[in-house]
Amino acid sequence: LRAKSTESAIAWHKMLYKASNRLTYQELFAWNFANQVRFSIFFIAMIVTNVVPLFFKPLNSSLSPTYPEYMVIPKQITQKDLVDGKDFRFLQRWPAVVWKCRETRAVLLRSSQPRLSIFGWRNNADEKFFELVLVLGKDMLIMDARSYAAAWANRAKGGGFEHPEYYQRTRVDWLALPNIHNVRYSFHQLRALLCSNQNRTGESYLSALESTGWLNYIKDLMNAARKCVDTLFDGQSVLVHCSDGWDRTTQIVSLAKLMGDEYYRTIQGFEGLIRLEWVAFGHKFADRNGIAGTNNNEQSPIFLQFLDAVHQMQHQLPTAFEFNRQYLVRCFVLCNDRLCFLLFVRAVRKFYEDLFF
């Protein structure tokens, strides 16, 4: 049988599904199991403490459509605070607690850039969040993945960075990591070099490899993650953000958790790490991998760059990881499967649920 149109096919699908299965899709094992997994990854990453009182809170998708269904936030943050502060950060991606150092109780947070603009706007709810996560009198480190010049340029577009007068006891560290366009250009050069017939043992090849900038970018990324971990183990909480908070931010936070917590170096932990930091927090797999649309300007191998950094760590310390290089290659292959990765994003999953069920 062939339907006359897409609308007709969807209508027939709904009727046949209802006739053949009395269970709702929410009652199926796969959906129930997925809900348990999405919720459990937060308990693995966080233990509630008296030093920084935190709690798990289910979120309405209107607060941040690119954030997970559950968040870890300070107890004193109310629903009104979330509503008042959500628009102050780009794409409504306010600071979210994603990991806690077991030794010092310092917490790792991620967000997007604030909307200070050239007028120096401020937000009481956003500043309140910062005050509540400061630990034992120590200052907080804000790791901005952009350069100082790039952050200033973003103020003309309504963005900016945390002003020291507004955010007491904080300091900003400018990482100057490459944006998606620089990473894409570097990868194109690397791919062209690897596909060439050039001898891979001579000095000219090593010089050409260095000129691509790919390994330097990996080094800078790993150094940023190392500094993040060292700061957390020193007892200072750390906030990581770039512009939108879903590319460089995700890379740094993920690598920092790998370095600081042996659980994430297991297969189960690594899968949970990807599920939370990359998928649930809305990394644009479709755009970055070129799966959806034809906008080449949005394509960039951000996830591949992260996997390469993990490979460098695993190559140097193989016994510290439960997986090997072949496992990382498999992860990259699967990230191009839109169903494996895209349907974990809440807004996209909700769209398909409404469409087919």
Backbone angles phi and psi of 349, in degrees to 5: -60, -40
Supply angle C-alpha 11, 341, 265, rounded to 5: 155
Residue 156 annotated as part of some ligand binding site: yes
Residue 244 annotated as part of some ligand binding site: yes
Residue 280 and residue 342: Cα distance in Å, rounded? 9
Residue 93 annotated as part of some ligand binding site: no
Residue 174 annotated as part of some ligand binding site: no
Residue 207 annotated as part of some ligand binding site: no
Residue 91 and residue 63: Cα distance in Å, rounded? 10
Residue 155 annotated as part of some ligand binding site: yes
The pair of three-digit structure tokens given for residue 157, joined into one six-digit string: 């577009």
CB atoms inside a 10 Å sphere around CB 299: 19
Catalytic residues: 242
Distance of alpha carbon 122 from its chain centroid, rounded?
25
End-to-end CA distance of the chain: 21
Q: How far is CA 272 from CA 3, 38, 131, in A?
A: 40, 9, 29
What is the residue whose two structure tokens read 């990230």? 335
Residue 263 and residue 45: Cα distance in Å, rounded? 9
The pair of three-digit structure tokens given for residue 94, joined into one six-digit string: 């306010």
Residue 324 annotated as part of some ligand binding site: no
Residue 84 annotated as part of some ligand binding site: no
Strand boundaries in 49-106, DSSP class E: 54-58, 70-74, 96-100
Distance of alpha carbon 17 from its chain centroid, rounded?
36
Residue 154 annotated as part of some ligand binding site: yes
Residue 220 annotated as part of some ligand binding site: no
Residue 134 and residue 104: Cα distance in Å, rounded? 12
Closest CA relative to residue 111, chosen from 224, 289, 310, 248: 248
Sheet containing strand 107-111, edge to edge, reads: 96-100, 107-111, 238-241, 140-144, 170-174
Q: What DSSP state is assigned to residue 319?
A: G
Residue 50 annotated as part of some ligand binding site: no
Residues annotated within a binding site for substrate: 154-157, 179-180, 242-248
Residues annotated within a binding site: 154-157, 179-180, 242-248
